[in-house]
């Protein structure tokens, strides 16, 4: 089993290092000083669960790797459409793409029985640009419950969580999910194969769709948002609206809004990924995290006034700062 990690940043390098530790042949695709550090010293993982090192092959040219069995996609979703030249050399006829992204994935309606089966979501797959690069039949969904950051070139600081839930877009078990899950578990990670990965998507999105844009707009941490009376109520309304949209699509995640808010408060002075991207002048993942949710509200006839209002202001912010 050969695995390539395309986008070996904080999450990607952590997964690659864990897979290597478990005995899988892994190749990392990275760039710049991070790549040079990995080539010289391997990936150094610092973790409360125990530090470890993984000396995996690394390159900025996927053609040096060639076709693999699995590509773990560690790129931000807003770069998928332009990833074709990087992805193509890694593919053979049966290569599987494990897409570890936030928000609504481009494959959301692929294999989903019902009135929306096969529908394309314009916000995340504009004009079919992502589907042309990432074939729907190759996709396995992946929801990340893990927090990492780059402490320096080649150095991953693992903060918390080791769970990477995966699942087929069509639901149910599959040999390819089981094989990838086994490799992840051998590397010390949790990797349950979910019967319906969309439940996990909505559970994580419930927080991301609310906390990410508010954090960017207010330059606030999770605990600041959760303990401020006004923004806490706004998050509650956004979560309730998101659950209504999910329900209209036939997905009913078993989660309490109150528990989700309390959990966010316990996270403390943590900056969301969207706030971190804003501070680094990187593109914001508004399309998959919030615009897609609003598009799904339009599709299902859900009013979602709070989600729409926050999206409008966050979109203006992204436009003004050029990200």
Catalytic residues: 204
- Residue 174 CB contacts under 8 Å (≥ 6 apart), including other chains: 168, 193
Burial class (CB in 10 A: 0-12, 13-18, 19+), 80: buried
| CA proximity to 81, closest of 125, 135, 29, 143 | 125
Q: What is the DSSP secondary structure assignment for residue 140, as one 8-state letter?
A: E
- Residue 84 CB contacts under 8 Å (≥ 6 apart), including other chains: 132, 133
CA distances 312 to 76, 105, 123, 214, 280, Å, are 22, 21, 14, 12, 22
The two beta strands, 96-100 and 139-152, are parallel
* Residue 285 CB neighbour total at 10 angstroms: 22
Phi and psi angles of residue 288, each rounded to the nearest 5 degrees, phi first:
-80, -25
CA dist., res. 206 & res. 247, Å (int): 13
The two beta strands, 2-6 and 70-73, are parallel
Describe the crossing of helices 292-300 and 305-321 by its angle, rounded to 10 degrees.
150
| CA proximity to 285, closest of 9, 75, 131, 28 | 75
Say whether 74 sits in a helix, a strand or coil. coil
């Amino acid at each position: 089993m050969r695995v390539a990690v395309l986008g070996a940043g904080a999450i990607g390098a952590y997964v690659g290092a864990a897979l290597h530790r478990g005995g899988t042949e892994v190749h990392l695709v990275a760039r710049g000083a991070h790549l040079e550090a990995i080539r010289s010293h391997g990936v150094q993982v610092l973790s409360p669960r125990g530090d470890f090192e993984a000396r995996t092959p690394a390159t900025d040219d996927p053609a040096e790797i060639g076709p693999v069995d699995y590509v773990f996609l560690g790129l931000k979703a807003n770069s998928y459409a332009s990833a074709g030249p990087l992805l193509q050399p890694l593919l053979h006829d049966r290569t599987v793409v494990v897409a570890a992204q936030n928000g609504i994935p481009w494959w959301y309606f692929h294999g989903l029985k019902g009135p929306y089966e096969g529908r394309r979501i314009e916000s995340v797959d504009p004009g079919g640009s992502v589907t042309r690069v990432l074939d729907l039949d190759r996709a396995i969904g992946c929801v990340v419950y893990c927090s990492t950051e780059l402490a320096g070139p080649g150095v991953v600081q693992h903060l918390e969580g080791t769970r990477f839930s995966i699942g087929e877009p069509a639901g149910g078990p599959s040999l390819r999910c089981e094989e990838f899950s086994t490799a992840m578990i051998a590397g010390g990670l949790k990797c349950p194969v979910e019967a319906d990965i969309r439940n996990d998507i909505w559970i994580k999105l419930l927080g991301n769709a609310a906390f990410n844009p508010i954090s960017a707009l207010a330059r606030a941490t999770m605990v600041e948002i959760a303990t401020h009376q006004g923004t806490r109520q706004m998050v509650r309304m956004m979560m309730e609206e998101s659950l209504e949209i999910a329900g209209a699509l036939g997905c009913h995640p078993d989660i309490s809004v109150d528990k989700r808010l309390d959990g966010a408060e316990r996270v403390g002075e943590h900056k969301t990924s969207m706030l971190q991207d804003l501070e680094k002048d990187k593109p914001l993942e508004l399309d998959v995290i919030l615009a897609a949710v609003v598009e799904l509200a339009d599709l299902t006839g859900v009013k979602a006034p709070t989600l729409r209002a926050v999206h409008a202001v966050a979109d203006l912010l992204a436009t003004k700062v050029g990200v």
